[in-house]
Structure 1
């Protein structure tokens, strides 16, 4: 079993006026086979949680713990976290001019597994993953995210997810900027990953539309750097109808 456990996590960022606390005591446990959705208004700290788990240097953990299968994630470098089984799909994937998708994927796979995949089977695996993400095989020769549409960036990340095969996937607004067709493709990819049974998913989103295609086991309402409410998938329907107003008012 794989378990990502977050206990009393406090995170701050440096501002012109000094350190500002963003996360104010987050507690969350994601076990394999579980899909968790985090929803909340802009500025509530959802992305800060994702980047803190991944080890972004902009964010300073000032308290609490994050463990994966009992191992201290916060003591790991970013690459060690990836090798341990963590995966982050970013809200705004960065461009990497001059590095082809093919080379990027093979280098990442080699770094995570500790050995290079066999070329013949790897090419087949990459082409199959791209096809399932509704991307043409020629896509592998393009520079990473350079000139990609929003849908191509997010579908490329789903292909990465499939090929790198982590224990826990953290998906930061992976539905952002997607049309309905791309949303369905991305959702199908997340569901394929989740249905493996031994995987955990932390899905961060503003809107319930992706939750029509990805059914979360747990929904967490994030407000002012904390979890304000928790429930099952029915909580997402409640948020769709009522919004976040009662939670934001309570946090003031």
Structure 2
């Protein structure tokens, strides 16, 4: 059982002029192995800032609070150390890595996480199996990472990584964006397979409820103006589908005033 604990996290973004713009205004959240948490909120509310701050993106500056994974201070770790500690980020816009094949990328990542290279005989079978489950042609293993991939192929590749690397805590930043119905179903099935192992805690960031028809969250958190303003179970997502975020946004505006 692993636990990610976020306490009073405050984050600012560095503007081109060198000034800091506050984004997160005190986030409290606990994610444990086997749990699925959905972070929902309108665009610009700070959801992706939360994801990238946990992962260690240099654009964001932590100005207060703490993030720990199994008692270890995540904020004191470098990006690669955070990954080795068991954190995983599926990006909203996966980047291309020219000159590095998918097969080499995944095997190198697995070696870095485990401290030893996976056995070629079994690793090849695991890689092919993961790609087939995500409906990816195994030939993609020899292509450069995300180079020339469609949006759906990039998202499927993110979930292939998730299945093979087996992190303690996985943060999925708008994995549903840009997916058609068929791709959404396939990606969701992959996420559910990982969740059903009970070894990985999931933090699913989205502003649409459609992915939650396939991935049932244990907890739903409404995120507005850099903080969690309401929490509940799956029924809260249904409420958001009907009512939207307007009353939360209006309330946040009144609080600032």
Q: Same fold (TM over 0.5)?
A: yes
Please give the root-mean-square deviation of Cα atoms over the aligned residues, in Å.
0.7
Deviations 1:120-141 (A, max 9, x none): 1111110000001100111101
Alignment of 1:127 onto 2:125: no
Q: 1:16, CA displacement in angstroms?
A: 4.0
2-structure distance, mates of 1:235, 1:179? 24
Deviations 1:3-29 (A, max 9, x none): 000000000011145100100000000
Which runs of at least 4 in structure 1 moved beyond 3 Å after TM superposition?
none
Q: 1:198, CA displacement in angstroms?
A: 2.4
Q: Which secondary structure state, in structure 1, belongs to the residue aligned with residue 217 of structure 2?
A: coil
2-structure distance, mates of 1:97, 1:78? 21
TM alignment of 1:23-102, pairs within 5 A: 23-102=24-103
Deviations 1:141-199 (A, max 9, x none): 11101110111000001000011010011000000100011100110011000011122
Q: Which secondary structure state, in structure 2, belongs to the residue aligned with residue 22 of structure 1?
A: strand
State the partner residue of 2:2.
Answer: 2
Q: Which secondary structure state, in structure 2, belongs to the residue aligned with residue 13 of structure 1?
A: strand
Unpaired segments ≥5 residues, structure 2: none
State the partner residue of 2:14.
Answer: 14
Q: 1:33, CA displacement in angstroms?
A: 1.3
Q: Which secondary structure state, in structure 2, belongs to the residue aligned with residue 25 of structure 1?
A: strand
State the partner residue of 2:209.
Answer: 208
Unpaired segments ≥5 residues, structure 1: none
2-structure distance, mates of 1:138, 1:120? 18
Tell me the TM-score normalised to structure 2 length: 0.97
1-structure distance, mates of 2:245, 2:58? 30
Q: Which secondary structure state, in structure 2, belongs to the residue aligned with residue 197 of structure 1?
A: coil
1-structure distance, mates of 2:72, 2:160? 27
Q: Which secondary structure state, in structure 2, belongs to the residue aligned with residue 188 of structure 1?
A: helix
TM alignment of 1:132-147, pairs within 5 A: 132-147=133-148
2-structure distance, mates of 1:112, 1:247? 40
TM alignment of 1:75-224, pairs within 5 A: 75-224=76-225
State the partner residue of 1:251.
Answer: 252
